[in-house]
Chain A
Amino acid sequence: MWRIFHGRAGQLPLRLPVMATLATSGAPVRASGLWKRFGALDVVRDVSLEIAPGEVVGFVGPNGAGKSTTIRMMLDIFAPDRGTVEVFGAPIDDAARRRIGYLPEERGLYPGLRIPPILKYMAELKGVPSQEAPRLADAALERLSLTEHRAKKVGELSRGLRQLLQFAATIQHKPDFLVLDEPFSGLDPVNVRLMKDTVAELRDDGVAVLFSTHQMTDVEELCDRVVMINHGEIVLNGGVREIRRQHASDRLLLECASDMPYALCLPGVAAAEMRGDGWRISLTEEGSPEGVLRALLDAGIQIERFEREAPTLEEIFLRIVGSSDGNGTPDAGARAGG
């Protein structure tokens, strides 16, 4: 089976062989009731997580929350003390491992080696036949605009290029389950966009993506769903829009074409504050957005913007993390277990 690998504008799409496809299984990646203890500390406690094919799940949490440990258990790098992991409907084994692409936070490549043998080695470890590996590597390098650096040693590349190269090594074998741990750190905006576009294409091709990051804006942009972990426990799990809606406040943002000097007189309004070009309105307990909107329309006010103020994911993150431990400082086991 072949899968189209879309190039940038002006580039020819590349056809790459695919070793296994989600279309044949359709089963998700599923972690159920994972526990992990390091010393006296439960780093991960009863974490359950599911990623469907073609879904990008943002995995967020403060440093030391248990993200990396959870990821490592899902990849069978660490054995969980309790709980199970299924990748596409079966316990993780060598065959499943070959369908996974992993870009860890602590990452690197052999600085003394040239790029082709490294990519070939990584591809072969993922089950790509030896004679097929160079072609896949070339395609991945071309997709990430690294072809001109092909003959270089890794140590000769800049940090950003090394990171792109590592990403190329992660996706060159066309994984069905992609795990990215802080993939954009250290990249310039151009390469961030390049990587995001590639992730989006992979998602469109049916790849399940687990995306761990601290950048909430990236989660909002890329992810269908967000899972937040704190102190080893899942504290938030749902669609990005749904979560923002759930955490929406009782405030309204209002912009009108004409002056509205009597905002405070509207029914259900407890407070109104002029901010920039509009009003920020707080409702009373009895007040509702619908009531305010109706009153405005009845008064013949020309409305340019009317929305219920929803917090950003970052605000939600800070609110949740702040309410539990304040600063989210790293705990024991952070380096080993994250």
Chain B
Amino acid sequence: MGSVRIVTRHEFRTAVTRPSYIILTAAVPVLVALAVAGFAIFTLVTREDAEAEPTSSGESSAQTPRLGYVDLTDGPTLFGAHQEQPGAVFVPVPDRDAGIAALTDEQIDALFVFPPDYAEAGTVVRIRIADDGSGVFGPDGPSYSGTLRGFVLSNLFADQVPPALAERLRIPFALVIEEVRPDGGTEDESAGFDLGRAAFFAVAGISLLFSVFFSSGYVLNALVEEKENRVMEVLLSSVKPDALLLGKFLGLGAAGLLQMAAWLASVGVGVLVVGLIVDIPADILTMPGIGDIAIAAGYFLFGYALFASLMAAVGAVTTSLREANQISAIVIVPAFIPVWLNFILFTEPEGTVARVLTYIPVTAPVTGFIRLAIGAMGPLETVAALLVLAASAAGALWMAMRLFGAYLLMYGKRPTLKDMARSVVSG
């Protein structure tokens, strides 16, 4: 164990003191700080504008809007009542010129003209003062179309339908969609959905993706660099291959987790700061349960062991960093399949595709986190998926150690698949 500890410490120190690691680790906190600062500045500026708007747009705007109207319709007056509407007051104006004068003097906020043929044509004219350059968005202000609609309907049907029905006429219906099962039963979709749990697994899943790929990438780079630098043989004269590999896994995994912790901490601080500026659902800010933390830790641990082992296997059989990075795509690309198929996972989280991806080792971690975030994985399925992932990680580690021992000192020549299979089988 002494050798493992020494290798672990060396790998960790070497990794965290690399300029690329430091820059990458600092990048997320810096970006979060910039984003939070930008958000704060934007929020403060828009809030000030909202508070300043009533005083800057004239005295009348501070009160209930006054909407002038000219009723030129033929016959009896159509619009003589119901001038008090929610959010506005309609003010009758004798004629068009008087209305324009009132609008110009800001005695009214808008002017509508009901022409003589309104009953036949349904046209209402809104008179606007031509752009005087008073603002970026023009002088129009609100459209008041909803208020106008209420005013017109109230007057047209005021004496012909009961008041409750008249109110209904203003907003004829509100469409609500209800889904039922084939047996006619209903499901309340909001029941059982835990926003805090969803947020936890969503963040943990994204973190897993980054952490696993960065950390296992570090393992790959460290191995191939030592092959390229010809340090490997010196190391192998001092430490057994399995101890060397284990030390690298632990040291570089710790470096990756430290990086992830720094990123998550910066995101957490960013969320808290944003919470001081705007309201954030309290569920998001609550601590996850022990069980959820254990599940996330299991996926992290076994996921990292799996991908780091696969990367180590790639590093063992390749001859250069460039070649290793190209071949590592065989490992990385399948891990993104759940991301590409996210629409299936979200629409059918308990469907066949989702269940199959949950048990395929390279897709299991990301799929698991997505389904856990949705709340589509029960305890039994979660435990089974973790066991399968753990067994796969152990198998990958065993295979990596076989290949590591067989090909680490092979320079300039890549083994064939047949060679590799033979090495894995025969050791």
Contacts and interface: CB of A to CB of B under 8 A. Distances in A.
A and B: bona fide binding partners: yes
Interface of A: 72, 75-77, 94, 97-98, 100, 102-104, 106-113, 117, 121-122, 124-127, 166, 169-170, 179, 335-336
B182 to A, nearest CB: 64
Contacts of B134: none
Contact of B412 (A104, A108, A335): A335
A111 B6 contact: no
B229 A113 contact: no
A106 B233 contact: yes
Contact of B411 (A121, A127, A335): A335
Contacts of B14: 110, 113, 117
B239 interface: yes
B3 A122 contact: no
Given A94-B3, A125-B6, A107 B410 contact: no
A117 B231 CA distance: 14
A115 to B, nearest CB: 14
Given A121-B10, A335-B411, A77 B231 contact: no
Contacts of A76: 240
B3 A104 contact: no
Contacts of A170: 234
B186 interface: no
A136 to B, nearest CB: 15
Contacts of A126: 238
A104 B233 contact: yes
Contact of B229 (A110, A125, A335, A336): A110
A100 B237 contact: yes
B238 A106 contact: no
9 contacts: A72-B409, A106-B230, A106-B233, A107-B230, A108-B229, A110-B225, A117-B13, A122-B234, A170-B234
Nearest to A107: B230
B236 interface: yes
A336 B238 contact: no
B23 to A, nearest CB: 15
Contact of B237 (A97, A111, A117, A335): A97
Nearest to A111: B229
Given A113-B14, A121-B10, A336-B409, A102 B237 contact: yes
Contact of A77 (B3, B7, B233, B410): B233
Given A121-B6, A122-B238, A125-B238, A335 B410 contact: yes
Contacts of A77: 233, 236-237, 409
A102 B234 contact: yes
Nearest to B11: A121
B229 A97 contact: no
Given A75-B236, A108-B230, 11 more contacts: A77-B409, A97-B239, A106-B411, A107-B234, A109-B234, A110-B231, A112-B18, A122-B234, A124-B10, A179-B237, A335-B412
A83 to B, nearest CB: 18
A165 to B, nearest CB: 12
Contacts of A335: 410-413
B330 interface: no
B62 interface: no
A124 B225 CA distance: 21
A75 B239 CA distance: 10
B261 interface: no
Most B CB contacts (10 A, CB to CB) among A75, A108, A111 go to A108
A179 B234 CA distance: 11
B26 interface: no
Interface string B237-276: 1111000000000000000000000000000000000000
B366 to A, nearest CB: 33
A109 B230 CA distance: 7
Contacts of B2: 94, 127
B27 interface: no
A98 B2 CA distance: 12
B45 interface: no
A107 to B, nearest CB: 5
A93 to B, nearest CB: 10
Contacts of B10: 117, 121, 124
Nearest to A333: B410
B280 interface: no
Most B CB contacts (10 A, CB to CB) among A112, A121, A335 go to A121
B228 to A, nearest CB: 8
B235 interface: yes
Contacts of A103: 234
Contacts of A109: 229, 231, 234
Contacts of A113: 14
Nearest to B10: A121
Contacts of A108: 229-231
